[in-house]
Amino acid sequence: MKIFNDLQLAKELIRFPTVTPVDAGIMKFLEKKLKSIGFKTKILEFKEGNSKSVKNIYARFGTISPNFCYAGHVDVVPPGKIKNWSSNPFKPTIKNGRLIGRGASDMKSSVASFIAAVSDFVSKNKKFRGSISLLITGDEEGIAINGTKKVVEYLKRKKEKINFCLVGEPTNPSRMGEMIKIGRRGSITGYLSIFGKMGHVAYSHKAVNPSSCIVDILKNLKQLKLDNGSKNFQPSNLEVTKISIDNSADNVIPRDAYATFNIRFNDRHSSNKLKKKINIYLRKICKKYKCKFKIEYMISGESFITKPNKTTYMIKNVIKKNTKVNTKLSTSGGTSDARFIRKISPCLEFGMVGASMHQIDENIKVRDLKTLTKIHKEILENYFS
């Protein structure tokens, strides 16, 4: 049975220009690799509404429980101006012991590492009792509606049981082994429209200026203290990300004003409670300014935590053994596909160092990749022992 080289495989994956939601042939490539080591595979393509279709893959080695799943994504963010890179972002290069390329950190190297570890593990443990599966999506960096979310729904319909899942996000801030994510804050985005009455600036009494209203609303929302944090989570926070007024004249009071804000919230809140709280503010302030409003919300996920169990501590110990770092269990950071997977399985996140993710010259240390592969292999050995 073939044993894959993690570095070679990482390079091969980086060569695919898989800017969300472009597949560029990567799922077929992965399917071929996984079949060669005995996996049964299924490429799952989904499309919702006017969104672009996305290809995903679910692969499984073995048929019995327990089923240990590895989840990840092979889509990447745009590289920006290629001339700003030291080398082409889709032509991986190694400089000073670092692998450079878009997706090196987030998270093609992590996918390559796990596949390399699995190929090594199954070649030496042909009769292990259990199954190993992979859930790889091409829609994590984008709107995330045709990726892991849909695959999880598919697995539920098929009654596919996953006993534990490890998501390969780049969880380490600056050093391999620093951090395991055991949960995430929730995320809700508000798209706010304020409607006033257009008029001449010299006759403001005949108009209703929506800018005054929206500034007051955003000031109040920003000053709103949501909480002081909780046992497992940092404080919730609201950030205004966009403000716009489409007005080409300097002597005209506009009719409309728009803003977008995002709230990252902990387990002291739910998205529904936050929406009700915000709507009270909107009604009160709009009444004061005699404006009307419309608010639309996009909920990316609720806060969640995977209560640490023996598998959590086993993984923590394996990481510490291989990195000599006392790994922290954390809920910091943004969202990930763990928010979907946790509905069918307990899950943790651990992967590469994320210091350069989404940046120009995104990179990882080659020795960190080798360490991660060793960690993955030992996790499998311990899980199925």
Catalytic residue positions?
Answer: 75, 140
CA distances from 314 to 172, 182, 250, 347, 381 (A): 18, 14, 64, 13, 11
User: Between the CA atoms of 314, 319, 321 and 323, what dihedral angle is there, to the nearest 10 degrees?
Assistant: -170
Rounded (10°) angle between helices 109-124 and 26-36: 20
Give the span between the Cα atoms of 66 and 162, in whole angstroms.
Answer: 7
Contact 189, 301 (CB under 8 A): no
Write b or e for each residue in 148-157: b if 16 or more Cβ atoms lie within 10 A of its Cβ, otherwise e.
bbbbbeebee
CB atoms under 10 Å from CB of 362, counted, come to 26
Pairing of strands 54-61, 40-46: antiparallel
CA angle 366, 369, 375 (to 5 degrees): 150
Beta-strand relationship, 256-265 and 199-200: unpaired
Task: Give me the half-sphere count of Cα atoms (radius 13 Å) on the Cβ side of residue 225.
Answer: 3
